[in-house]
């Protein structure tokens, strides 16, 4: 490396360690909440029947944290990489096989981390400019990146330990200024996007792709009836319930059943969430009427002809929860086509993608 190429005094371990700690904390929160989201969306069989429907706002909080920590990690990763980037031009590139392997590890870590955060960001903007399925890729990259991160932290352990405490190296005015700027940047991206899910930050929502309180009936719309080709409900629409004693109900018959209210959020995996007052028929009443045992799971099918969320399965804990409704009304009005008319599912503590709209059929399984 030529002397004097990198003139900043901050390409040094103490600065890297301080930023690295914040980044590590954000990534840990992001990884754990991401795992939870993945499991809730597509639970493995052994876990399926142990997922709780409470706390009702659980997914709203964890997925909010997932997107918030992921967004905060972007400026933190940028700062972290800036403190160490002169190492990129190290000469000779490898001093030994071990050193070469370590550098290769870092290259893989940095690239998976960048791809992970970048695809996550594009996903919350609902932009999918890649040919691979987002969720699976995001999931496996998360394991790669986290595994790589743990190895990296272990390899750098002695150096991190040495610079962990304040006072390990002389305080630097530039360092304090730099850390101040990084903090402000991380806080700024957080408060200007977190309003998608935190109501009292709503007015600061400059950059979030959505303001969840803006939309028909005070709720946003992700997939419209036009996109799902469900704008016109078939005139002979009936709710079909299949089970030991199958039956069908017209809208008038559904409305004649006991109606219940639930105040529940829709919490989209993309990080926004919004609460609404729903009313309709309890799913557990509909299942009991079909002769289903209380341990039964249910499969819900939408009128939508295709689309990834046309069919949804619901474990018994959700189906039996008194808050889980086949909703017919929202915020005091009949559902609109975009909100899932004639009927939609609303259940506590579940990802938005499972709150099926335009319901045609329940099936006891």
Tell me which residues touch ligand MTE (CB under 6 A): 219-223, 228, 266, 268, 302, 304, 307, 309-310, 339, 352-353, 355-358
Q: Please identify, using beta-carbon distances, which residue of 304 and 321 lies nearer to ligand MTE.
A: 304
Q: Looking at residues 221 to 240 of the shown chain, list those that interact with Mo ion (rule: CB under 5 A).
A: 222
Applying CB under 5 A, among 29, 228, 268, 317 the residue interacting with Mo ion is 268
| Closest distance of CB 352 from Mo ion, Å | 4
- Three-state helix/strand/coil letters over the chain: CCCCCCCCCCCCHHHHHHHHHHHHHHHHHHHHHHHHHHHHHCCCHHHHCCCCCCCCCHHHHHHHHHHHHHHHHHHHHHHHHHHHHHHHHCCCCCCCHHHHHHHHHHHHHHHHHHHHHHHHHHHHCCCCCCCCCHHHHHHHHHHHHHHHHHHHHHHCHHHHHHCCCCCCCCCCHHHHHHHHHHHHHHHHHHHCCHHHCCHHHHHHCCCCCCCCCCCHHHCCCCCCHHHHCCCCCCCCCCEEEECCCCEEECHHHHHHCCCEEEEEEEECCCCCEEEEEEEEEEHHHHHHHCCCCCCCCEEEEECCCCCCCCEEEECHHHHCCCCCEEEEEECCEECCHHHCCCCEEECCCCEHHHCCCCEEEEEEC
Per CB under 5 A, does 352 bind Mo ion? yes
Q: Does residue 148 belong to the site contacting Mo ion (CB under 5 A)?
A: no
Q: Using CB distances below 5 to 8 A depending on partner kind, what does residue 65 bind out of Mo ion, ligand MTE, none?
A: none
358 binds, among ligand MTE, Mo ion, none (CB under 5 to 8 A by kind): ligand MTE
| Beta carbon of residue 25, minimum distance to ligand MTE (angstroms, whole number) | 28
Closer to ligand MTE by Cβ: residue 182 or 338? 338
Q: How far is the CB of 164 from ligand MTE (least distance, A)?
A: 42
Q: CA–CA separation, 128 vs 122, rounded Å?
A: 7
Least distance (Å) from Mo ion to the CB of residue 135? 12
Select 179 or 353, whichever has its Cβ closest to Mo ion.
Answer: 353
Q: How far is the CB of 222 from ligand MTE (least distance, A)?
A: 4
| CB of 267 vs Mo ion, minimal distance in Å | 8
User: Taking CB under 5 A as the rule, does residue 219 contact Mo ion?
Assistant: no
- Residue 266 interacting entry, from Mo ion, ligand MTE, none, C-beta within 5 to 8 Å by type: ligand MTE
Nearer to ligand MTE, 182 or 360 (CB): 360
Compute the distance between CA of residue 137 and CA of residue 109 in angstroms, rounded to an integer: 15
Smaller CB distance to Mo ion: residue 64 or 352? 352
Nearest approach, Cβ of residue 224 and ligand MTE (Å): 7
Picked from Mo ion, ligand MTE, none, the partner binding residue 339 (CB below 5 to 8 A depending on kind) is ligand MTE
Residues of this chain that interact with Mo ion (CB under 5 A) are 222, 268, 352-353
């Amino acid at each position: 490396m030529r002397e004097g190429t990198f003139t900043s005094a901050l390409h040094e371990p103490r600065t890297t360690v301080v930023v690295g700690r914040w980044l590590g904390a954000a990534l840990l929160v992001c990884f754990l909440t991401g795992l939870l989201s993945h499991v809730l969306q597509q639970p493995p069989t052994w876990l399926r029947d142990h997922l709780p429907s409470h706390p009702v706002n659980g997914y709203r909080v964890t997925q909010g944290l997932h997107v918030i920590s992921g967004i905060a990690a972007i400026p933190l990763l940028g700062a972290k990489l800036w403190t160490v980037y002169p190492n990129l031009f190290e000469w000779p590139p490898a001093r030994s096989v071990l050193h070469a392997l370590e550098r290769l590890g870092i290259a893989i870590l940095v690239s998976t981390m960048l791809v992970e955060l970048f695809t996550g960001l594009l996903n919350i903007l609902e932009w999918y400019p890649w040919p691979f399925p987002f969720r699976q890729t995001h999931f496996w990259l998360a394991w790669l990146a986290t595994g790589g991160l743990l190895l990296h932290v272990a390899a750098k352990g002695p150096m991190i330990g040495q610079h962990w405490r304040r006072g390990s190296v002389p305080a630097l005015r530039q360092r304090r200024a730099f850390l101040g700027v990084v903090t402000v940047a991380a806080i700024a991206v957080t408060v200007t996007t977190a309003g998608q899910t935190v109501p009292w930050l709503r007015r600061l929502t400059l950059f979030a792709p959505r303001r969840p309180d803006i939309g028909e009936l005070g709720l946003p719309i992700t997939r419209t009836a036009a996109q799902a080709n469900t704008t016109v409900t078939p005139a002979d629409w009936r709710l079909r319930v299949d089970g030991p004693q199958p039956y069908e109900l017209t809208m008038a018959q559904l409305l004649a059943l006991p109606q219940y209210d639930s105040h529940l959020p829709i919490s989209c995996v993309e990080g926004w969430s919004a609460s609404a007052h729903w009313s309709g028929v309890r799913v557990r009443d509909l299942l009991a009427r079909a002769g289903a045992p209380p341990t039964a799971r249910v499969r819900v099918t939408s009128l939508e002809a295709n689309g990834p969320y046309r069919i949804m399965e619901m474990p018994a804990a959700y189906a039996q929860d008194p808050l889980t409704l086949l909703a017919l009304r929202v915020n005091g009005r009949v559902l609109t086509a975009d909100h899932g008319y004639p009927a939609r599912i609303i259940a506590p503590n579940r990802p938005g993608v499972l709150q099926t709209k335009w319901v045609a059929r329940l099936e006891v399984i």
